[in-house]
Amino acid sequence: MISLSYTGFVVRSLRAHLLRSALAVIGIVIGIAAVSIVVALAQGARAEISRQIASLGSNLLLVQPGAQLARGVRQPVGTSLSLTASDAIAIAREVPQVVIAAPFVGEQATVTYGNLNWSTLVAGVTSGFFDARGWTAATGQLFDAGQVVQAEKVAVIGKTVARELLRGSIPLGQFLRIARTSYRVIGVLAEKGQDLTGRDQDDVIFIPLSSAKAFTIGRAQANPDAIDTILVKTDSTDSIGEAETWITRVLRQRHRIIEDKPDDFRVENLVQIAQARDDTYRQFTLLVSALAGISLLVGGIGVMNIMLIAVSERTSEIGIRLVVGAHPADIRKQFLLEAALLCTLGGLLGLATGYTVTRMIPWALGWPVEFNMTMALIALACSTVIGLAFGLMAAERAARLHPWVALTCNQ
């Protein structure tokens, strides 16, 4: 057991060679700070992705129309008019794993309130859409199936629209003008934030699907019943794959697609898309953490070099200690403790630097961060172990010096 007086001796020795000690510490500070910052950024990014996944809802599939050809050029997915509201009804009725199949139409439109206007997404949906997305009303209420059937001119708005367009007015009961039709606000949605594409999910106005097609968004002349997408919610996560197969089978049959022809629609698993992005962040984190670990390793090598130089410069001191009764084990302990203290000090300063930088990142760049104290303590422990590991060579060299050689080496 190393006594406090022995530790004090080591501290005084480090203070006597302050510049050399500082040089040894710098590499460890950079390595620990880099590890802390990278982990905090990765944790923040993954937490944001988890929040976005939760905001999407659970067990969701997105059915989109296929791509049409225009003058021989394939257009983006969703440009054809292959999906209809009847398809959504068929999916809900014929696919056993499906709980909700909600048709959706939407477009960017200018909404007017008094002398103010705001460009936002106006979406026509059924009441099942809110259940599929797990969307609730913060104030007021959501429209129900009866209001959809009767094509009532009611609207449920997001928090961003309420803030930017109504400017402090009480939203409920206000009338918003969309195109040539006025809609009465009956509810304000609970906040969801950004989605996986970075779009503000609260910058939206929902109106009944029937009202949207009759008064606001209009109908495609080629297919008046056409819709933009169908949002499908399954009964469990495990049944998503089977539901996807069933949906493909039902739609191919309804659209009379023969066996050797491609689908005129596309089914996407929203959770898989989010998880793929999460996996990308995880791999990126491992890569950057490995680079940060290399910098920590380089810092450890720096400590070893500084300690080896210290042994060469302090041979007389080592010789005197051996002559007056110190054992080689005492010399070994001294240099090991010096290396461990240097790396521990570097670890503490690195953690302080990393924590300070991670607190500044959201303010300066707006990136989400989460400082992980557990990982910080592990990094600190690693820095101490590195000090012991890389200080061992210097400690062994010092312990093996013969007193007479040590005393005459610098003569």
pLDDT at residue 75, rounded to an integer: 45
Answer whether residue 368 shows pLDDT above 70: yes
Answer whether residue 248 shows pLDDT above 80: yes
Name the β-bridge partners of 119. 110
pTM reported for the whole predicted model: 0.62
pLDDT at residue 72, rounded to an integer: 42
Answer whether residue 381 shows pLDDT above 90: no
- When pLDDT is averaged across residues 77-99 and rounded to a whole number, the result is 83
pLDDT per position as a tens digit, 328-354: 676 677 777 777 777 778 888 888 888
Most confident of 70-74, 234-238, 373-377: 234-238
Q: How would you class 363 by CB atoms within 10 Å of its CB: exposed for 0-12, middle for 13-18, buried for 19 or more? A: exposed
Q: What is the 3-state secondary structure (H, E, C) of the chain?
A: CCCHHHHHHHHHHHHHCHHHHHHHHHHHHHHHHHHHHHHHHHHHHHHHHHHHHHHHCCCEEEEEECCCEECCEECCCCCCCCCEHHHHHHHHHHCCCEEEEEEEEEEEEEEEECCEEEEEEEEEECHHHHHHHCCCEEEECCCCHHHHHCCCCEEEECHHHHHHHCCCCCCCCCEEEECCEEEEEEEEECCCCECCCCCECCCEEEEEHHHHHHHHCCCCCCCCCECCEEEEEECCCCCHHHHHHHHHHHHHHHCCCCCCCCCCEEEEEHHHHHHHHHHHHHHHHHHHHHHHHHHHHHHHHHHHHHHHHHHHHCHHHHHHHHHCCCCHHHHHHHHHHHHHHHHHHHHHHHHHHHHHHHHHHHHHHCCCCCCCHHHHHHHHHHHHHHHHHHHHHHHHHHHCCCHHHHHHCCC
Answer whether residue 405 shows pLDDT above 70: no
pLDDT per position as a tens digit, 258-280: 888 888 888 888 666 666 666 66
pLDDT per position as a tens digit, 115-162: 899 999 999 999 999 988 888 999 999 999 999 999 999 999 999 999
Answer whether residue 21 shows pLDDT above 80: no
Most confident of 182-191, 292-301, 363-372, 386-395: 182-191
Region of poorest pLDDT, from 32-46, 59-73, 88-102, 369-383: 59-73
Answer whether residue 18 shows pLDDT above 70: no
pLDDT per position as a tens digit, 155-199: 999 999 999 999 888 899 999 999 889 999 999 999 888 776 678
Percent above pLDDT 90 for the chain: 27
pLDDT range class, residue 247, cuts 50, 70, 90:
very high
pLDDT range class, residue 281, cuts 50, 70, 90:
low
- Per-residue CA distances from 345 to 14, 90, 198, 339 (Å): 12, 67, 41, 10
